Structure 1
């Protein structure tokens, strides 16, 4: 049974608040825990008290450890919200263990293979260039989130899945509810239900008129009996949300970070070397690490770390944003340095559950970061940083709006 320490003031609450004026850095209370100990208890929304794993090497080791479970139904698993929120009672494969996790994941792995993703690069380049053309046609400041950061990955994932882009307002609105930390359970369940219904109806259309897209590929799995229609709809929801939310936030927040570090922006703007652009993407992923709810796991057996034992049935929270700022893994980790070799970051997680879509995300960010600042070299903020609406209430961090001009 999960350990609970409700009402115990000595146990810090998680997630923690960022410091005012430090929008890119992990919360100072979180960083302080890393300085103090490798493991520390934290208190979640429901009073449960899982272990917070603070160090980079420990997180990597645990995410590879077969004694650690991603199965949301396991005793001690540290829930992010009440059961049912975000569809957790109908868990996607990312909340399962092997062999079921591997069986379902394999069904959607091929479209995200590096070779297949690289073949998409010219199309993504055209999307980026067209959206920049539309921005430049505007006479006044524009919101980079609405005009560029959201449309780029939304158009890409819609084309990949076979989802009509004209429905983007619908799925973006509902996905925002699902990743909002303080959304009530009823709202989460309603949003998830709307998306499931939408994808289920779309799967029905694909069964009648299959096309050359990922959802049509899932239809064949349904017909062969490898996958149920409800499983295919849940998989579609996962891919649709993950395919646009994280990349959109990286585009906007990465741009803001670069505007606030002009010497680093100049290094990126003044190069057309694909290797340097790719390195810049990895450093921005490390520096920002926008998934801020921590990787959640449960111990299947007793596990010892640095003399401390995580007991079977206890939960673990592994904040990758903290691990990617571990000075034992990255020198001067709080400094944004586009010349750094940051390839060992764990912004996409680690082990068998690491992000399926990371090749696509990397490619999109390489195209965006390699194009936007070169084509608009005078890009600048049109509002003070302190006035920007940051997503402190989201499990995926970013900004709701980013007014820019040139």
Structure 2
């Protein structure tokens, strides 16, 4: 089915179905009975959906067998175009991926991110002050969860924060799977055009931000297309993922006072963030892979060019890695979660996301000890059809 005839989605496919915080029980059934099973894609083709933790890690950890570059695909998705694929880090495989990522990694080391902590703390406090001055009720998504990571990533990249309304609107369109594909593609192209203008300006006069640094230090090693693709990906992922974690995570913590108390604690906040990442698994699937050759995974024969998709919620709740994983338990011990992926494409911005959450959760909960939803929880609107799961809004009071 082509993009021009593809109707908008009216029913979520199995791998993104959720009820509030929980993935559909069908995913657990697939994980137990058919951990590698065929599903229909949004554009009418077929894909293998992998739901078991060990098989997801095996596939994501083997870039030689399962590639990110869509040139390996038998059926290329309509949203993958030659003019938009260039420069997109998620479409690169080693050694090209290795070379490009090596240029970016120094900006996202734990040590480098720690230097940002005072600025992140200041941004969080500014938004808490504004909430307090405005008085309840407020929409926590618009007042806190969305603007904090947006401002951080804008400052890091050198994107004017005053443009946030436009790029957030385009991000929402790009990630909304209920929309016709042509609308999502148009939003993607508009976002890339916006970033291309910024890169052009930075080429002429590099700033002190990440884009400027890449141009100053690696001008002959990185193309404009790569700069645009990298910056666009970081901007999109840098505010969408963390903002949805802050909104969803806060709502869950408000429902469980014992878990909330741990999240407020300096001693336990790191564990709280990791457990919230595992439990929420807000990215339904990691970027798809294509089989490079005829191969086998978990006893299932996979043909060359077959599309592979991976259910992160199913993998992160696999009983093989812990007990009672359908519950939030900040004190638990499990195998490493898959919220940031695995292998060579493990999320570059993971240290930044962790830092933002470790600062934001306790600061919010300590500032407003009586914080609670201002509407019944069953009236809270979840982003059901979004690539990144989250809340459309969260009215709160205190």
Q: TM-score, normalised by structure 1?
A: 0.90
Q: Match for residue 146 of structure 1?
A: 142
2:346 to 354, 364, 374: 354
Paired residues of 1:283 and 1:342 also in contact (CA < 8 A): no
- Which residues of 2 match residues 46-125 of structure 1 at below 5 A? 46-65=43-62, 66-76=64-74, 79=77, 82-84=79-81, 89-90=85-86, 92-125=88-121
Contact 2:259 2:330 (8 Å CA) reproduced:
yes
**Whole-angstrom distance in 2 between the partners of 1:345 and 1:403:** 30
1:315 positional shift: 1.8
Which whole-Å CA distance do the structure 2 matches of 1:391 and 1:184 have between them? Answer: 17
- Taking a change above 3 Å as real, the CA distance of residues 230 and 311 of structure 1, as seen in their structure-2 partners, is closer
- Verify the 8 A CA contact 1:295 1:320 in the aligned structure 2: no
Match of 1:39 among 33, 36, 39: 36
In the aligned structure 1, how far is the partner of 2:13 from the partner of 2:387?
A: 15
1:235 matched to 2:227: no
Partner of 1:128: 124
Q: Which residue of 2 aligns with 1:4?
A: none
Task: Report Cα offsets for 1:35-55 as digits up to 9, x if no partner.
Answer: 212211111123322211111
1:299 equivalent in alignment to 2:278: no
Query: Which whole-Å CA distance do the structure 1 matches of 2:149 and 2:16 have between them?
Result: 29
Does the C-alpha gap of structure 1 residues 316 and 217 become closer, same or farther in structure 2, counting only changes over 3 Å?
same
Structure 1, gaps ≥5 residues long: 1-11
Query: CA offset at residue 141 of structure 1?
Result: 0.3
Aligned-residue offset at 1:335: 1.0
How far apart are 1:303 and its partner, in Å?
A: 2.8
> CA distance change for structure 1 residues 46 and 190 in 2, over 3 Å: closer, same or farther?
closer
Q: Which of 252, 257, 261 is the aligned partner of 1:257?
A: 252
1:163 aligns with 2:155: no
When residues 35 and 88 of structure 1 are mapped into structure 2, their CA distance, relative to the original with a 3 A threshold, is farther
Residue 373 of structure 2 corresponds to residue 376 of structure 1: no
User: Secondary structure in 2 aligned to 1:332?
Assistant: coil
Answer whether contact 2:79 2:185 (CA < 8 A) is retained.
no
In 2, Cα distance between the equivalents of 1:223 and 1:146? 37
Q: Report the Cα distance in structure 1 between the residues aligned to 2:132 and 2:183, rounded to whole angstroms.
A: 38
Partner in structure 2 of residue 310 of structure 1: 302
Asked if residue 192 in structure 1 is aligned to residue 188 in structure 2, the reply is yes
Relative to structure 1, the CA distance from residue 284 to residue 343 in structure 2 (aligned partners, 3 Å threshold; closer, same or farther) is farther
SS for the counterpart of 1:328 is: helix
Output one character per residue of 1:116-143: Cα deviation in whole Å (capped at 9) or x when no partner: 0011111101111111011011233000
* Distance in 2 separating the partners of 1:89 and 1:209: 26
Q: Higher mean Cα deviation, 182-191 or 34-43?
A: 182-191
Take 1:45 and 1:57, find their aligned partners in 2: how far apart are those partners? 26
Q: CA deviation at 1:329?
A: 1.0
CA distance in 1, matches of 2:380, 2:196: 37
| Distance in 2 (alpha carbons) for counterparts of 1:16 and 1:268 | 27
Compute the displacement of 1:260 (Å): 1.9
Higher deviation after alignment, 392-401 or 27-36: 27-36
Give yes or no for the alignment of 1:272 onto 2:288: no
Residue aligned with 2:69, SS:
coil
Where 1:108 maps in the other structure, the secondary structure is helix
Please give the alpha-carbon distance, in whole angstroms, between the structure 2 residues aligned to 1:366 and 1:28: 31
Q: Cα offset for 1:361?
A: 0.3
Contact 1:294 1:318 in 2 (8 A): yes
CA contact (8 A) 2:321 2:335 kept: no
Alpha-carbon spacing, 1:306–1:393, altered in 2? closer, same or farther (3 Å)? closer
Given that 1:77 and 1:297 are in contact with CA atoms closer than 8 Å, whether structure 2 keeps it comes out as: no
**Which stretch of the first structure deviates more once superposed, 325-334 or 299-308?**
299-308
Runs (4+) off by over 6 Å? none
Task: Specify the alignment match of 1:216 in structure 2.
Answer: 212
Gaps of 5+ in 2: 1-11
After superposition, the Cα gap between the structure-2 partners of 1:16 and 1:168, relative to the gap in structure 1 and judged at 3 Å, is closer
Q: Does 1:201 align with 2:197?
A: yes
The whole-number CA distance in structure 2 between the counterparts of 1:370 and 1:78 is 44
Using structure 2 for the length normalisation, give the TM-score: 0.92
RMSD: 2.0
